[in-house]
């Protein structure tokens, strides 16, 4: 019985020791599937466990290791890719490099029409 308690205690310690992860959700401006890909690949860095941006709500959900990253850095990652967050704005230079239909500041719209020609979801080679 005593042994069992010891084992349980050790397990709890291991679990809480491993909990150097955190999850956060914040708003990242963007418009379409291209934005989603751009935003999520911006979070393809060491320390990020998972990043998921929702085109409808503009909310980015990030699971990250607190040892490597903090919330400020996460906001900076989105801004570096050209997407404003509620805390950090992208520089005009980076923003200018976005695809025309991704210019969220001007209220551009990508998804509203069916014939948009940047359907790179499957990364098919362009002729
Ligand atoms: Cu876009």
Q: Please give the order of strands across the beta sheet that includes 59-65.
A: 21-27, 59-65, 48-53
24 Cα: distance to centroid of ligand 1 (angstroms):
23
Domain ranges of the chain: 19-106
C-alpha 97 to ligand 1 mean position (Å): 12
Of 82, 74, 72, nearest in space to 34 by CA? 82
pLDDT value, residue 113: 47
Whole-model pTM? 0.73
Q: What is the distance in A from the centroid of ligand 1 to the CA of 56?
A: 12
Distance in Å, CA 117 to ligand 1 centroid: 12
The CA distance from 111 to 114, in Å, is 7
pLDDT value for 94: 97
pLDDT exceeding 70 applies to what percent of the chain?
76
Q: Tens of pLDDT along 43-62?
A: 999 999 999 999 999 999 99
Kindly indicate whether the domain formed by 19-106 is annotated with CATH number 3.30.930.10: no
Low-confidence ranges of the chain (pLDDT < 50): 113-117, 119-122, 124
Q: H/E/C letters for each residue in 2-55?
A: HHHHHHHHHHHHHHHHHCCEEEEEEEECCCCHHHHHHHHHHCCCCCEEEEEECC
25 Cα: distance to centroid of ligand 1 (angstroms): 20
Query: What is the distance in A from the centroid of ligand 1 to the CA of 31?
Result: 5
What pLDDT does 115 receive? 45
């Amino acid at each position: 019985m005593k042994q069992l308690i010891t084992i349980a205690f050790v397990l709890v310690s291991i679990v809480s020791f491993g909990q150097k992860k955190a999850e956060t959700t914040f708003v990242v401006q963007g418009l379409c599937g291209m934005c989603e890909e751009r935003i999520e690949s911006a979070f393809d860095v060491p320390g990020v466990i998972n990043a998921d941006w929702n085109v409808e709500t503009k909310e980015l959900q990030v699971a990250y290791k607190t040892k490597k990253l903090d919330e400020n850095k996460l906001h900076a990652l989105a801004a570096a890719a050209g997407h404003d967050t509620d805390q950090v704005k992208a520089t005009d230079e980076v923003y200018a490099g976005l695809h025309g239909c991704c210019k969220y500041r001007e209220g551009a719209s990508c998804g509203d029409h069916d014939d948009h020609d940047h359907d790179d979801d499957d990364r098919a080679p362009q002729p």
